[in-house]
Amino acid sequence: MGLFDKKPKKNEAEEEVVAALTPEEMKKERAAKATSFVMGVEKILPTEAFAEVILLGKMDGSAAANIEVKVCNPGSDNDKPEAVTIIGIQTDEGEVKSTSGGKVALRMPVIPGREYRVGDVIYTDDATLESKVHSYVKALTNTYVADKGLSLSAEEVGKLSITDVEEIWRFYGWFIREIDKEDSEAKKLEHMTKVSMIGNTLCNKIMNADYLYCVFSALTGEPYMFSRTVRNDDGSYMCTAPNVRVFTESYKERMQEIFKDGKYVIKKIENGENKQGIYNFFGTVFYLNGAAGVEIISEDTAVTAGSLVKAPDYSKAPKNSIPVTNPMLVRWMLLMGQLRDEDMQKEEGRIIYTLYYNFFAREVVKAKFLVPIHSNSELPAPNEEGRLTLSAGTVVGLPVVDGQNGRKAIRLFTDWRHLYGEFGEKGGAAVETIDSLISTFDCAINLGQFPRAGRYISLASFNEMEEVARKTVAQKSDASTQD
């Protein structure tokens, strides 16, 4: 018997008998006639009819045969809603003209140029975005996690979108925490293997995407750093290493609503024809700005920096050819710069700022900076420390600006990217520490279009930072002694 063959009725009369309906039956009939529903596709079955397909899923609402509905995939970046007409409906009772929901099989027409996928959503025009996304996620997770336990074929993995993988991974994390709690070594290894597979799949798809969106800070002009601050039992505070947040086209509308606060800006990151744009973007975010990783769509699905772009290896490079970078220093500057004036009016904001400031202070006193210089003659190559020995008669120009309290300030840069952004790629640069300059000049670090992304350091503030760093060393020494 086929899926849509009518079930034979016992003692079927030759003449049709119309029976009166009970109030409850009438209620069900009215509900079934109200065609308003949404259904995520969990399984696709072929039919004997070449131009038809059967879609199985769990329906929320009521549907009837021969009505026009829409089909789309909320996890696909390029999918557009298509209008289709339901050819037939089958439930546990057999083929029916209408249904009030539950487990349903819909006989649908094949759409030229479009392949039905697990996670597709069939819906009427009144379905909300939230209900469509909910049905999409439920269909994905029921199929790939609950039914298949994340044991997927290469073909199935290949068809998944970035958004599909993120949602499956997020649900699988919940599944092994709350449902499959067996803690045997064999089970732990199984979970680890599956998580590794889905994580690697997500990384590969991200790096090969045509484009992504990233959440930026409106105050610093750089990707927003997402870090969580928690209070320890002893009253001290700690913060998580910051991640940046990216998402796909299919979730753009939802993310625009989440990040509608004026402190955020959403920007598109193009991968380009050579598929290096996303790689270069992440390389900058990780190894110049100091982000620890990337959150994909939600904080529940994050990958570490090295999973996407390996850290540069300078172990065999000559010392004077290693570029100046200060990712940890930039990290804390950006985190401080993201805090708004209104944040600093609250105790929580001041606590977070102090935490960031202390980390920044420890980095700044030991950091090496680029000082752009221009001269009337070609500059010699720097030595292993990055310092220049100038010949007699050489005139150099240093980027000095008016500073605070009548002092001049010299402009310093944490890396070549920031320096090139202000002065272009012509000219050279010396490598200096702040303590070698601060007695003569105040220091303006990464001064540019977004002042909040940099930092102004006076002699007094540098002395304060040195004291913070000294106390940190002393505390670590005391802790080591106690151990």
Encode pLDDT of 392-409 as tens digits.
655 566 789 999 999 999
- Considering the entire predicted model, what is its pTM? 0.84
- Residue 286 confidence (pLDDT): 98
Q: Residue 292 carries which side chain, given as an amino acid letter?
A: A
In this predicted structure, what is the pLDDT of residue 245?
Answer: 98
**pLDDT > 80? residue 55:** yes
At residue 285's C-alpha, the angle toward residues 158 and 331, to 5°, is 140
23-127: CATH class: mainly beta
Highest averaged pLDDT of the listed ranges 33-37, 253-257, 379-383: 253-257
Eight-state DSSP code of residue 178: H
Q: Which two tokens stand for residue 107?
A: 């006989």
Please state the domain extents for the chain. Answer: 23-127, 148-207, 365-464
H or E element in which residue 204 lies? helix 185-207
pLDDT value for 272: 95
Name the percent of the chain lying above pLDDT 70: 86
DSSP state, residue 393 = T
Q: Are 79 and 131 in contact (CB under 8 A)?
A: no
User: Which positions ≥6 away from 328 have C-beta within 8 Å?
Assistant: 290, 359, 363
For residue range 223-243, what is the model confidence (pLDDT) as tens digits?
Answer: 999 999 998 888 888 999 999
Q: Tell me which residue of 137, 139, 135 sits closest to 147, measured CA to CA.
A: 139
Q: Which of 244, 336, 354 is nearest to 288 (CA)?
A: 244
Q: How many CA atoms lie within 13 A of 479 on its CB side?
A: 6
**Which pair of structure tokens corresponds to residue 423?**
């002065």
Q: Could you tell me which residue, 88 or 475, shows the higher pLDDT?
A: 88
Give the pLDDT score at 179. 83
Q: What is the mean pLDDT of the chain?
A: 88
3-class state of residue 348 by DSSP: helix
d(CA 180, CA 450): 49
CA distance 170 to 175: 9
**104 and 62 in contact (C-beta within 8 Å)?**
no
User: In 395-442, where does DSSP find H-type helix?
Assistant: 416-423
Does residue 377 carry a pLDDT above 60?
no
What are the pLDDT digits (tens) for 305-344? 999 999 999 988 888 889 999 999 999 999 999 999 999 9
Angle at which helix 185-207 crosses helix 277-287, to 10 degrees, equals 120
Q: Are 72 and 132 in contact (CB under 8 A)?
A: yes
The helix, strand and coil proportions of the chain, stated in percent and rounded to the nearest 5, come to: 35, 25, 40
- The DSSP secondary structure of 447-464, one letter per residue, reads -SS-GGGSEEE-HHHHHH
Residue 18 has pLDDT above 90, yes or no: no
β-sheet bridge partners, residue 70: 83, 123
Give the end-to-end CA distance of the chain in Å, rounded to a whole number.
Answer: 75
**Averaged over 91-101, what is the pLDDT?**
89
Helix (H, G, I), strand (E, B) or coil at 337: helix
The whole-number pLDDT of residue 238 equals: 92
Q: Which residues, in sequence order, are bridge partners of residue 169?
A: none
pLDDT on residue 275: 94
Of 286, 266, 263, nearest to 349 (Cα)?
A: 263
pLDDT digits (tens, 9 = 90+) for 412-434: 999 999 999 998 887 788 899 99
CA distance 195 to 301: 11
Size (the chain), residues: 483
Q: Maximum distance among all alpha carbons in the chain? A: 117
